[in-house]
C-alpha cells in the first residue's frame, strides 16, 4: 500500500514537472523600445549626440571597431560596428558604418568598405517593460547564447559535477556537510543546479522535511525527462540576480543589461564572474552599493575556476585587475522611463489584454526619443530650481509636467510626469487634470477666424466690463489680469495681450455651444460645460490633452491623434499590429495660418515675449501662456517648425504658486526649446490667404511706407475696405501724376 501511494505521489510530481517545464515557463513582460536613431546625410544630429546614443546602447569605445557594439572617433568621423537587430520590417544586419559630421549635422554616411549609405538605423534602446503582477522581469537567453566562461564559472561555484550526476550529488552533500561541521556554521551548500532550479521553479521557500523530499524527487524527475542543456538554460533564465526598485531581475540575460548595459554574449570574463558571484546574495554583493564586497566575491569565483582547472592563473590575474565595470544606474541605456511607458500601456490596452502585455514577450516599438527626454529632464530640473531660488521657495515646493510632440505626425517624443526623472509615482503629464486658463483662448479666436465674413485679425473687439447672471441669480464679473479695461482693440492684440473681457465678449458672440463643439473638433474628449467661464479656461485638462488640442494649431488645421506606439511584434519579431499616422483636417488651412501668425505675435510682443530671453529672433516660434485663479497653475504651450511642447508648473496641494504662465511655465518651455535647437516655423501661406498693408490698430487699408503700416494676412475677400489717410493721399497724388502723364502724351 505504501509503495502504491508513493508511486502515485511520484506520478503526481512528474505531472507537475511536465506541465511547468514543457508549457510556458515564464510570464515574459512586453519589452518597450525607444525609436531607432536614423542616420542619413543631412540629418541634424551632432557628433556628441551620436556618441551619447552609442554609450546608451552599451557600445565599447576602442581604437578601431572590428566586432559588434564597438566604436571609435577620429576627428570629425565616428566609426562603429553595429549589432544585428530584428525590426518589425526585417533584420538589420551587423555592419561597420562611418559617419562624417560638419557644422550642420551628418555630412556623409558610408559602410566600412566605403559604399555610400542613404539611411542607417541603429538598434533602439529598451526603455521599460510591462510587468506581470509579481513584478518579475527577464530577458530569455538560449543555451547557445550562454558564454563558455559564464558556464565554467557557474559550474565551478555551484555544481562542479553537473554533467555527471542525475539530479542529486551525494558526494557534494557529503563535502558540504564536512565543510559546515568544520566551520561551525553553514558555509557551503550541497544542492545541485537542478535542485536549485526545482526549488525556485516549483516549490515554496518553506523549510520542511516534506519540501526537501519533494525537491529531491522532482530533481530526479527533471533529470530523467530533460537534457542537461535544457536544465542549464532554464536555470540561467530563472535565477534571481538583483532588484531595480520593485522590479525583480531574473536570469543572466537581463542581469547583463542591468549591470553592464550590454547583451550577455558581449560580456567578458571578469563581468560574467561578477554575475555568478551575485548568486550567493544579490543584495549582499550588490556591486553598486557594496563594490569592495562584490569585488572580493568575484575574485573568489575566479580562484575557484583556477582550482578546478577551467581557467589559467594568468587569465584570472588579468580578470582580477579589471574594474567591476558596472554602469552608473542613471546612465544605463535601459533606464526606466516609467511616465512614457505608462502612456504606452494605456494606448495598448485598447487592443491587447493585460495578460498578453505581461506574459507573451511582445516587442513594442515606440516614438520615444531618449535624447529629447534627456533635454526635457535637465531643463525642468534646472528651471524649477532657478525659479524656487529666485522666489525664495523651499527646494521641491514646485512640481512640473511636460509633453513633447512631433506635431505633423502626432508622435509623443518625450514626457515627464514630474520633476523627479524616472519616478514611478503620480504621472502629472497624464493624470494632473488642472484648469488650463488662457490656453483655451486660441481655440476661441480660431473659431472666430474661421468666419472671415465676420472676423479678421483687425476686427475691433470691445474690451469693456460686463456682468453675467447665471440661472441661480449669481453674477459673474470677469476682469483682465491688469484690472483695466482697454476699450476697442483689434482682435490680434486682444489675443496677444490675453485680454479676458474682449475674449468673453467674442465667445458669447460666437455662442457657447459653438465653442464647445469646436473644442470637440480639436480633440477635447472630456465633458465640457457651455458656461461663460469656459471662455477663460474653466476647463480642466491634462498636459497631454492640451498637447492634442495644440497639435491641430501646429499642424495647420490637421488633427492627428497623439500616439506613442509605432509597431508591435511578437517575441519572434512577427508583426502583429501597426499604428500608422492618422490625419483628419478639422480646420481650414487659412484660418489656422492666421491664428499661428497671431500666436507668433504673442511670443514676439505679447504675454509670451519672455521666450526671447532664451531663443534668438531668427528662431520663429508660436505659443500661448496660461494662468489660473489664485496663480495655482502656470502653463505654456507652443511650437516651432519641428517641435510642440506643453509645460505645466504648480503644486500638488493646489496652493498658489505666485507664478503666471509667463513667469513659471514659459521659462521652462524656452529652456527646453533652446536645448532642442528647433527649426523656425517658416510657414508658407495657403492659397486662400493674402497679405495686405494695414494699420494694425485701426484695421484700415494702407500702403508700405505709411506710418505704422504692417503686412497682415487675411482670408482672400475679407481684406479691409476702409482706406487710411496715408493711402488716400498717395492715391490722390498718383491720380494727379496719371492725369499729367495722359495730358502730355
145 shares its domain with 263: yes
pLDDT at 741: 44
- Residue 154 in contact with residue 61, Cβ under 8 Å? no
271 shares its domain with 316: yes
We report the CATH number of the domain holding residue 632 as 3.40.710.10
If we measure between CA atoms, which residue out of 384, 403, 473 comes closest to residue 668? Answer: 384
We report the CATH number of the domain holding residue 109 as 3.30.2060.10
pLDDT at 744: 34
- Residue 673 in contact with residue 639, Cβ under 8 Å? no
56 shares its domain with 139: no
SS3 90: strand
Out of 359, 438, 718, 724, pick the active-site residue: 438
191 shares its domain with 312: yes
Q: DSSP characters for 635-694?
A: EEEEE-SS-EEEEEEE-TT----S--TTTTHHHHHHHHHHHH-PPP--PPPPTTEEEEEE
How many angstroms separate the CA atoms of 134 and 342, rounded? 17
**Intervals of the chain under pLDDT 50:** 185-188, 331-334, 736-745
451 shares its domain with 549: yes
Give the end of a domain, one of 314, 331, 348: 331
* Crossing angle between the packed helical segments 589-605 and 543-554, to the nearest 10 degrees: 110
If we measure between CA atoms, which residue out of 292, 276, 333, 314 comes closest to residue 124? Answer: 333
Q: DSSP characters for 9-39?
A: HHHHHHHHHHHHHHS----BPEEEE-PPPEE
Give the end of a domain, one of 302, 331, 360: 331
DSSP state for residue 68 in the 8-state scheme = T
Residue 226 located in a structural domain: yes
How would you classify the pairing of strands 126-130 and 30-33? antiparallel
pLDDT at 331: 47
Residue 262 located in a structural domain: yes
How many angstroms separate the CA atoms of 106 and 519, rounded? 41
134 shares its domain with 112: no
453 shares its domain with 602: yes
**Count of domains observed in the chain:** 4
Strand partners, 39: 120
Residue 351 located in a structural domain: no
649 shares its domain with 695: no
612 shares its domain with 735: no
Residue 372 located in a structural domain: no
Residue 654 located in a structural domain: yes
Residue 338 located in a structural domain: no
- Residue 485 in contact with residue 409, Cβ under 8 Å? no
We report the CATH number of the domain holding residue 186 as 1.10.3810.10
620 shares its domain with 694: no
Residue 630 located in a structural domain: yes
pLDDT at 404: 98
Give the end of a domain, one of 312, 331, 350: 331
pLDDT at 739: 35
Tens of pLDDT, residues 522-580:
999 999 999 999 999 999 999 999 999 999 999 999 999 999 999 999 988 999 888 88
Residue 316 located in a structural domain: yes
pLDDT at 16: 66
- Cell 538589420 belongs to 92
H helices present in 364-427, as ranges? 370-390
- Residue 80 in contact with residue 117, Cβ under 8 Å? no
476 shares its domain with 515: yes
H helices present in 511-542, as ranges? 512-521
* Crossing angle between the packed helical segments 148-158 and 291-307, to the nearest 10 degrees: 90
**Which percentage of the chain shows pLDDT scores above 90?**
71
In whole angstroms, how far apart are CA 61 and each of 55, 202, 325? 9, 43, 14
How many angstroms separate the CA atoms of 475 and 477, rounded? 6
Q: DSSP characters for 159-203?
A: -TTTTTSSS--HHHHHHHHHHHHHHTS-------HHHHHHHHHH-
Q: The domain containing residue 738 runs over which residues?
A: 689-743
238 shares its domain with 273: yes
Catalytic site residue 72?
A: no
How many angstroms separate the CA atoms of 546 and 334, rounded? 29
> For the sheet containing 105-111, what is the strand order?
60-61, 70-74, 77-81, 96-102, 105-111
Burial 29-67 (b: 16+ CB within 10 A, else e): bbbbbbbbbebebebebbbebbbbbbbbbbbbeeeebee
Out of 158, 545, 601, 695, pick the active-site residue: 158
Catalytic site residue 108?
A: no
Amino acid at each position: 500500500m505504501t509503495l502504491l501511494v508513493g508511486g502515485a505521489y511520484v506520478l503526481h510530481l512528474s505531472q507537475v514537472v511536465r506541465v511547468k517545464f514543457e508549457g510556458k515557463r515564464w510570464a515574459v513582460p512586453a519589452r518597450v523600445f525607444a525609436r531607432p536613431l536614423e542616420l542619413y546625410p543631412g540629418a541634424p544630429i551632432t557628433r556628441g549626440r551620436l556618441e551619447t546614443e552609442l554609450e546608451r546602447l552599451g557600445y565599447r569605445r576602442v581604437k578601431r571597431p572590428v566586432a559588434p557594439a564597438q566604436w571609435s572617433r577620429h576627428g570629425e568621423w565616428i566609426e562603429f560596428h553595429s549589432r544585428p537587430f530584428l525590426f518589425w520590417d526585417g533584420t538589420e544586419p551587423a555592419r561597420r558604418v562611418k559617419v562624417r559630421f560638419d557644422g550642420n549635422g551628418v555630412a556623409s554616411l558610408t559602410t566600412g568598405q566605403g559604399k555610400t549609405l542613404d539611411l542607417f538605423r541603429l538598434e533602439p534602446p529598451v526603455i521599460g517593460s510591462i510587468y506581470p503582477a509579481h513584478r518579475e522581469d527577464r530577458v530569455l537567453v538560449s543555451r547557445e547564447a550562454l558564454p563558455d566562461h559564464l558556464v565554467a564559472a557557474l559550474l565551478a561555484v555551484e555544481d562542479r559535477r553537473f554533467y555527471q550526476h542525475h539530479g542529486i550529488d551525494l558526494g557534494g552533500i557529503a563535502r558540504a556537510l564536512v565543510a559546515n561541521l568544520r566551520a561551525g556554521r553553514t558555509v557551503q551548500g550541497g544542492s545541485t543546479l537542478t535542485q536549485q532550479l526545482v526549488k525556485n521553479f516549483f516549490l515554496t521557500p518553506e523549510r520542511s522535511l516534506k519540501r526537501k523530499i519533494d525537491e529531491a524527487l522532482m530533481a530526479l524527475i527533471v533529470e530523467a525527462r530533460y537534457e542537461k542543456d535544457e536544465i542549464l538554460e532554464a536555470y540561467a533564465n530563472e535565477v534571481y540576480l538583483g532588484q531595480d526598485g520593485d522590479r525583480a531581475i531574473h536570469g543572466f540575460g537581463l542581469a547583463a543589461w542591468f549591470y553592464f548595459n550590454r547583451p550577455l554574449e558581449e560580456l567578458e570574463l571578469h563581468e560574467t564572474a561578477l554575475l555568478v558571484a551575485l548568486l550567493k546574495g544579490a543584495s549582499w554583493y550588490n556591486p553598486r552599493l557594496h563594490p569592495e564586497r562584490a569585488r572580493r566575491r568575484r575574485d573568489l569565483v575566479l580562484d575557484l575556476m583556477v582550482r578546478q582547472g577551467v581557467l589559467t592563473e594568468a587569465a584570472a590575474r588579468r580578470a582580477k585587475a579589471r574594474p567591476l565595470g558596472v554602469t552608473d544606474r542613471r546612465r544605463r541605456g535601459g533606464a526606466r522611463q516609467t511616465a512614457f511607458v505608462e502612456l504606452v500601456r494605456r494606448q495598448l490596452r485598447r487592443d491587447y489584454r493585460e495578460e498578453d502585455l505581461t506574459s507573451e514577450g511582445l516587442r513594442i516599438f515606440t516614438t520615444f526619443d531618449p535624447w529629447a527626454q534627456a533635454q526635457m529632464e535637465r531643463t525642468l530640473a534646472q528651471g524649477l530650481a532657478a525659479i524656487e531660488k529666485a522666489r525664495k521657495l523651499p527646494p521641491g515646493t514646485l512640481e512640473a509636467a511636460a509633453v513633447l510632440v512631433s506635431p505633423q505626425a502626432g508622435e509623443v517624443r518625450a514626457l515627464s510626469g514630474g520633476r523627479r526623472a524616472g519616478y514611478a509615482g503620480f504621472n502629472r503629464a497624464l493624470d494632473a487634470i488642472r484648469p488650463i486658463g488662457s490656453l483655451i483662448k486660441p481655440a476661441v479666436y480660431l473659431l472666430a477666424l474661421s468666419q472671415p465674413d465676420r472676423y479678421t485679425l483687425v476686427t475691433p473687439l470691445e474690451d469693456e466690463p460686463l456682468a453675467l447672471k447665471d440661472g441661480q441669480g449669481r453674477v459673474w464679473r470677469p476682469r483682465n489680469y491688469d484690472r483695466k479695461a482697454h476699450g476697442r482693440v483689434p482682435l490680434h492684440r486682444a489675443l496677444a495681450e490675453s485680454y479676458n473681457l474682449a475674449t468673453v465678449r467674442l465667445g458669447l458672440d460666437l455662442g457657447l455651444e459653438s465653442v464647445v463643439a469646436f473644442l470637440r473638433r480639436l480633440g477635447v474628449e472630456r465633458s465640457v460645460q457651455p458656461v461663460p467661464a469656459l471662455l477663460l479656461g474653466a476647463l480642466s485638462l491634462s498636459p497631454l490633452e492640451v498637447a492634442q488640442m495644440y497639435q491641430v494649431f501646429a499642424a495647420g488645421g490637421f488633427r492627428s491623434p497623439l500616439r506613442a506606439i509605432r509597431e508591435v511584434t511578437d517575441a519572434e519579431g512577427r508583426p502583429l499590429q501597426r499604428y500608422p499616422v492618422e490625419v483628419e483636417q478639422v480646420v481650414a488651412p487659412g484660418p489656422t495660418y492666421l491664428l499661428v501668425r497671431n500666436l507668433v505675435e504673442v511670443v514676439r510682443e505679447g504675454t509670451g515675449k519672455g521666450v526671447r530671453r532664451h531663443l534668438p529672433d531668427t528662431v520663429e516660434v508660436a505659443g500661448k501662456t496660461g494662468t489660473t485663479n489664485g496663480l495655482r497653475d502656470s502653463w505654456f504651450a507652443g511650437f516651432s517648425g519641428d517641435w510642440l511642447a506643453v509645460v505645466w508648473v504648480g503644486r500638488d496641494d493646489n496652493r498658489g504658486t505666485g507664478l503666471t504662465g509667463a513667469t513659471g511655465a514659459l521659462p521652462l518651455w524656452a529652456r527646453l526649446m533652446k536645448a532642442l535647437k528647433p527649426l523656425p516655423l517658416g510657414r508658407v501661406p495657403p492659397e486662400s490667404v493674402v497679405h495686405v498693408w494695414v494699420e494694425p490698430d485701426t484695421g484700415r487699408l494702407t500702403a508700405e511706407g505709411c506710418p505704422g503700416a504692417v503686412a497682415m494676412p487675411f482670408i482672400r475677400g475679407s481684406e479691409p475696405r476702409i482706406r487710411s489717410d496715408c493711402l488716400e493721399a498717395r492715391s490722390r497724388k498718383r491720380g494727379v501724376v496719371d492725369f499729367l502723364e495722359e495730358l502730355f502724351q
